Structure 1
Amino acid sequence: PNADGSVNYDLFGNKIPIYECPSNPESGRVQDGSPPPDTPVWQARVANGDYSGYYGVSPQMATLGLVDANSAKNDNGAISKTANLKFASFTDGTSNTIRLVESSGRPHVYRLGRKVIEAGPGSSVRVNGGGWCRPATELNVLLGVSADGVSYPGPQVINTTNGIALGSTYPDPYFGVDGTGQAYSFHSSGITASFVDGSARYLSANIDVRIYAGLISRNGGEVIRDIEQ
């Protein structure tokens, strides 16, 4: 389905409660849509969803020494644009691989519990993603941020910001048309994550970035001993 196709507008404006976290102050609103030029005038016409997956882990994270090299691949997550993944693809184990995490508040930009940018028709600056039907709602690859949530890549991966703000150019020079969301919730100390085996766990905002990257990787061979940090 195409979120930009006019025949789908009525469908994609439907709010689906199970896709929304009750703690999100933006829940229950129709507030996302594709940036220009997909829509010449940005319109909030897509209902939001708060849960997204990763395609992989940015190799830049390993270059900076933040994660292990075997974790840092663009295509080693639980979802893929190109590979037909099967359970056998998850050699790290389905209970050790993240499928979905919270990424709430999009397309507005939140940092450290505060809304710092309001997405709207008058501004092109927003997180790319949020609508439950949009491919850009996936989190692309893990690309941490600085402690203030402004610059990337960096060591902070949970609850620092809900996404990297797009500028005035779209497709973005760095991200293209892919999503720019980050793991973020309105819980005080972490996020809820679901794993490929169907289990759900609460991950602390203080989790070690290497452990978090290892949980995103489906086949990096990481030994995960202590998730609860």
Structure 2
Amino acid sequence: MHAFRRTSRGFTLIELLVVIAIIAILIGLLLPAVQKVRAAAARMSCSNNMKQLGLAMHNYESANSAFPPMTTDSSYTKAPNHFCLTFILPYIEQNALANLINMQVDGYAVSNFTAFTTPIKTFMCPAAPLEPTIVYNTPSGKYATLPSGVTQIRMGRTDYAVASGAGGTWVTASIGTQNIPTNVAGILEYNKQTAVTAVTDGTSNTLLMVEDAGRPFRYGRGGAKIGADRDGNGAAGGWGDQDSWFGINGSDPAAGTQGSGPAAVNGSSDNEIYGFHTGGAHAVMGDGSVRFLKDSTTLAVIASLHSRAGGEVLPND
């Protein structure tokens, strides 16, 4: 009587290939879902950052009876060459960092340099594909004197900024015959603190801060990077750099260039409203609420939202 021996049977090559193909298909189906979840989380985190900035601005206003200046130059002697984000550091739980900055000393002074190299999470959108610090040319016309041993200028970045106004050919064309003023004051002003009572259009109808992510690089529609550093000196993008404000002029989404097209949102990161979110970018309003500005928003609507006392009638969406 013969004993039967059981033999183990492995996968054939065809079976193995089928299994690999099935796994590849499953991964292909899962990746878009994972990416969507990550994008949604980044968008929510960015919105929360802007909410914190809005609250900080209002806490500053409560303590000082006015909002901080948008930015200052050397003639603003009590805080020369400082950006608005520096003013609100104590109101976003950055007291220790604020204590390292002498507001009475020029923002570009060597004594203030080290503080401004510090990345601050609240100032950065997690969807933006940049390092926490951005590189400025060395030597720089701004940071002309550096601390001993420093050979590279890296400033903590901000993806949030303030618009000084909206104007130019493309804004004018978008407005047409509508009664919308251009190049007028927003809530935050150059070299000047503004009382909340000056916002007669209503704080919920007026922009306070917006996304301008991607600086100093140039990005166009869909987060496409176009070219290299748009300004070798890193003209803006550091949270402590008084040059980190901008003017709204419209942009060309294909070229990613500022002042050259009708796009009001996500057309260019080159000193325009820009976020790395599908369909639009965030803005914090004067009342501290956060809105998502769609890519389809016109320059006329942005000009209306910017002016604090224009009396414009805005669409509900």
TM-score (norm 2): 0.58
Choose from 117, 125, 138 the match for 1:13: 117
| Pair 151,22 (structure 1): closer, same or farther in 2 beyond 3 Å | closer
* Contact 2:283–2:290 under 8 Å retained in 1: yes
Counterpart of 2:312 in structure 1 is: 222
Would the aligned equivalents of 1:108 and 1:126 in 2 still touch at CA under 8 Å?
A: no
Rounded Cα–Cα distance in structure 2 between residues aligned with 1:13 and 1:126: 16
Where structure 1 has 5 or more consecutive residues not aligned to the other structure, the ranges are 164-180
SS in 2 for 1:186: coil
Q: Identify the residue that residue 267 of structure 2 maps to in structure 1.
A: 160
SS in structure 2 of the partner of residue 7 of structure 1: helix
Matched, 1:54 2:158: no
After the TM superposition, list the runs of 4 or more consecutive aligned residues in structure 1 that deviate by more than 6 angstroms: none
Structure 1 residue 103, shift from structure 2 partner: 0.7
CA distance in 2, matches of 1:142, 1:72: 13
Cα distance, 1:8 vs. partner?
Answer: 1.6
* Contact 1:15 1:47 survives alignment (8 Å): yes
- Per-residue CA deviation, residues 90-115 of structure 1 (Å, 9 max, x unaligned), is 11100000111111111111122222
Name the counterpart of 1:37: 141
Mapped partners of 1:155, 1:108: distance in 2: 20
Distance 1:154 1:77 in 2: 23
Structure 2 contact 166–182 (Cα < 8 Å) conserved: yes
Distance 1:79 1:60, change over 3 A: farther
Identity in percent: 27
Higher relative contact order (CA 8 A, sep 6+): 1
Aligned position for 1:211: 301
Asked if structure 2 preserves the Cα contact closer than 8 Å seen for 1:95 and 1:197, the reply is yes
**In the aligned structure 1, how far is the partner of 2:262 from the partner of 2:243?**
23
- Counterpart check, 1:182 vs 2:290: no
Q: Which runs of 5+ in 2 are unaligned?
A: 1-81, 83-105, 146-150
Higher helix share: 2
Counterpart CA distance in 2 for 1:48 and 1:202 is 22
Q: 1:134 is matched by which residue type in structure 2? A: D
Question: Aligned residue pairs: how many?
Answer: 205
Pick closer, same or farther for the CA change 1:196–1:103 going to 2, 3 Å: same
Question: Aligned runs of 1:32-181 on 2, under 5 Å?
Answer: 32=136, 36-39=140-143, 43-58=152-167, 60-61=169-170, 64-67=172-175, 70-112=179-221, 113-119=223-229, 124-125=231-232, 128-139=235-246, 141-148=247-254, 149-150=256-257, 152-163=259-270, 181=271
CA distance in 1, matches of 2:224, 2:233: 14
Structure 1, residues 80-133: CA drift from partner, whole Å, max 9, x if none?
Answer: 1144311111111000001111111111111222222333xxx85476311001
Deviations for 1:47-106, whole angstroms, at most 9, x for unmatched residues? 1011111122225455x4222675343342121114431111111100000111111111
The TM-score with structure 1 as length reference comes to: 0.78
Matched, 1:25 2:129: yes
Structure whose CA Rg is larger: 2
Q: Conserved in 2, the CA contact under 8 Å of 1:109 and 1:126?
A: no
